[in-house]
Amino acid sequence: MDIKKILLAGSAVTAMVLATSCSSDKSSEPDPSDPTLSSSSENGTIPGSSGDVPVTGSSSSDGNSTPVPGVSSSSVVDESVTQMAITEIMYNADDGSALEWVEVTIQSGPDIASMLASGMRLDGALSFTFPNEPLKKGEYIVVTNDKALFMQTYPDFQGKLYGPWDNDPKTGAVAKLSNEGDVIDVKLTGEGDVSCSYSMEPPWPSLANGKGRTLVYKGGNAAQATSWGASKIMNGNPGVGNDEWLTTSNIRLNEIMPTGTGVDAWVELYNAGSADVDVSGWIFESKIRKEKLTIKAGTVPAKGYLVLNATTDFVNSDGEPTELIVSDIGGSYYLYGATEGDESSLLLPSSKLSSGVVDLSDGSTAQGALVAATPGEPNSTLYIGSLVITEINYHPNEDDLNDAEFLELKNVSEVAITPYEKLTSGNRGWKIEGINFEFSATDVIPAGGLVVLFPDSLKAAYGEEGMRKRYAIDASVLISFYSGKLSNRGEMIAVKKPYFFQNDVSNPLNSQWYYDWSDATLYSDNWSGNGIDYKRADGFGYSLQRKDFTTMGYEAAAWTVDKPTPGK
């Protein structure tokens, strides 16, 4: 029996707060007053807390560990159902090691008598089916790509170790976690499924990307970087819960203006704390230029801003004045404080606009190009492009054979879009990150026109014409198919326009495309408020439908819930 449908029918469902990704679909995000949680709000401290709280913190820096993941006292959790969690990830070990591993535990609910019988498995970026063995609450088990290499790295490990995970069907070899980032799912028959994200790009901790640290889950929405920290212990601490992570300060890399826009480039820092912070000697890094410069001098006032001029406020490693060049093709930028792990970062899209951090109503943040540059002031809203996300049917009703997963986009401009760029540096289609989709050179989206994207499985079963007939989709609507899958828990979906291709002749592996972001959302089955029952979109025959196109679709308030209308 589907317990979610029972709860939906009852009044108790309105009080239930469900957490996304590594926190399961029946638990909530930790209480925002918990000082172990991240908040990079420009208002300073974490809502509900007293005094200053670092932008990110250590789970047990004072010797007191925090259960992982935390649960709000106001949430309703069904303790009769086992809920899973991923608590630590090693996706890119140091010293060229090929070792990768994932730590899994029971977050809440009963023990599992047989992982095999319960259908427990890993899915998404990798796949693995657990054996016919029990798993008790409080146990932390590890799944790796190479058990022998794992034991060489952790000779004192005494926990349960499984692996290797399954072969990649494309290569025939043991699957590898992409260093760029991906989604890892724990599947469990019943209501305990969870999804977990990771990435090498800002604002994710750089020390977990080949520098000897793991990603440690801190609590909250694990599709967001603020829910993760770099492990305090080198190589992490597999098989042990409540791990510590490296603490960061209240200083945030808040906005960056690129060079070549008619004004000097500049970098803005924001201080979320109640005390001034001297950032003299802090390091600013441009990954795309492979350049590290030092801030000559400066203090960021409490709850205030410091704007650094690119031509006057930086010096090189020899102490010589050096201009900071910020390219409009984008890239990763980092600010490093005085202690290891104290970092803030921005992933700039390809744009001549300034880019920065925007605070969201749930206490998390989003990054992107901004509508207007605001040096020394709170940031403006995120810029939105011409092709936007309008409908997401991420979790169809499994009892309705006519209900299918899909993603709908709209051209909100007054001209037709050919979502395929022919650039001097190369040709490539616009891509939809999150579902592994790229437009072809023949695709055309008319002004005001729609695109409906379905999973590849439906293409094999029905084809384009079959799906068009099934949902009475007009011939003017472009239909295509994607190879990925929308997470039932929530994930980042982004529409990206190719802007530039950089070819690294010395190391082809470093060659990459840079993109201008047109729209993005991080949808969640934990969305609530705004007078809307968002839970209806989580397997009950309803979809998320866009109602606000003034900025990117990160806010729950930008969406409503209604019966699916693909191509309408």
- The three-state DSSP-derived secondary structure of 273-319 is CCCCEECCCCEEEECCCCEEEEECCCEECCCCEEEEECCCCEECCCC
CA atoms within 13 A on the CB side of 2: 10
Q: Please tell me the distance from the alpha carbon of residue 475 to that of residue 470, in angstroms, as a whole number.
A: 13
Q: Are residues 530 and 509 in the same domain?
A: yes
Q: Name the domain boundary from 369, 401, 430.
A: 369
Identify whether 377 is part of a domain. no
Answer yes or no: are the C-beta atoms of 86 and 217 closer than 8 Å.
yes
Tokens encoding 258? 């690129």
- Residue 300's DSSP bridge partners are 277
Answer yes or no: are the C-beta atoms of 97 and 153 closer than 8 Å.
yes
Identify whether 295 is part of a domain. yes
Tokens encoding 299? 């203090």
pLDDT over 70 percentage in the chain = 85
Other C-beta atoms within 10 Å of 113: how many?
A: 12
Amino acid at site 232: K
Amino acid at site 318: D
Structure confidence at residue 74 (pLDDT): 28
Q: Are residues 346 and 304 in the same domain?
A: yes
The β-bridge relationship of strands 450-455 and 478-482 is parallel
Q: Are residues 224 and 261 in the same domain?
A: no
Find, among 261, 251, 254, 376, the residue nearest to 307 by Cα. Answer: 376
Q: Are residues 244 and 155 in the same domain?
A: yes
The β-bridge relationship of strands 431-433 and 492-502 is antiparallel
Q: Please tell me the distance from the alpha carbon of residue 271 to that of residue 250, in angstroms, as a whole number.
A: 6
9 Cβ contact list (under 8 Å, min separation 6): none
Domain extent, residue 211, equals 1-248
Q: Label residues 291-304 b or e (16+ Cβ within 10 Å = b).
A: eebbbeebebeebe
Query: What are the angstrom distances between the C-alpha of 1 and each of 88, 188, 397, 534?
Result: 32, 15, 14, 22
DSSP state of 256: E
463 Cβ contact list (under 8 Å, min separation 6): none
497 Cβ contact list (under 8 Å, min separation 6): 385, 387, 419, 421, 430, 515, 516, 517, 518
Place of tokens 């969201």: 360
The continuous run of DSSP H or E covering 254 comes out as: strand 251-257
Identify whether 378 is part of a domain. no
Find, among 294, 260, 357, the residue nearest to 40 by Cα. Answer: 357
Structure confidence at residue 425 (pLDDT): 82
Q: Are residues 278 and 259 in the same domain?
A: yes
Structure confidence at residue 491 (pLDDT): 86
Q: Are residues 102 and 236 in the same domain?
A: yes
Find, among 378, 291, 294, the residue nearest to 337 by Cα. Answer: 294
Query: What are the angstrom distances between the C-alpha of 170 and each of 167, 174, 438?
Result: 9, 10, 19
Q: Are residues 122 and 241 in the same domain?
A: yes
Structure confidence at residue 190 (pLDDT): 57
Alpha helices in 319-455 (DSSP H): none
Identify whether 338 is part of a domain. yes
Instruction: Read off the CATH number of the domain in which 275 is found.
Output: 2.60.40
Identify whether 547 is part of a domain. yes
Structure confidence at residue 47 (pLDDT): 27
Q: Are residues 407 and 544 in the same domain?
A: yes
Q: Are residues 549 and 449 in the same domain?
A: yes
Q: Name the domain boundary from 369, 398, 422.
A: 369
Q: Are residues 356 and 412 in the same domain?
A: no
Environment class of 568 (CB within 10 Å of its CB; exposed 0-12, middle 13-18, buried 19+): middle
Q: Please tell me the distance from the alpha carbon of residue 349 to that of residue 331, in angstroms, as a whole number.
A: 7
Q: Are residues 336 and 396 in the same domain?
A: no
Q: Please tell me the distance from the alpha carbon of residue 485 to that of residue 524, in angstroms, as a whole number.
A: 15
Please state whether the peptide bond connecting residue 131 to the residue before it is cis, i.e. omega within 30 degrees of 0: no
**Low-confidence residues of the chain, pLDDT below 50?**
1-77
Identify whether 382 is part of a domain. no
- Residue 216's DSSP bridge partners are 88, 229
Identify whether 96 is part of a domain. yes
Other C-beta atoms within 10 Å of 166: how many?
A: 15
Q: Name the domain boundary from 219, 248, 277.
A: 248
Q: Are residues 354 and 464 in the same domain?
A: no
Helix (H, G, I), strand (E, B) or coil at 345: strand
- Structurally, the chain folds into a number of domains equal to 3
Q: Please tell me the distance from the alpha carbon of residue 446 to that of residue 547, in angstroms, as a whole number.
A: 21
Q: Please tell me the distance from the alpha carbon of residue 294 to that of residue 364, in angstroms, as a whole number.
A: 29
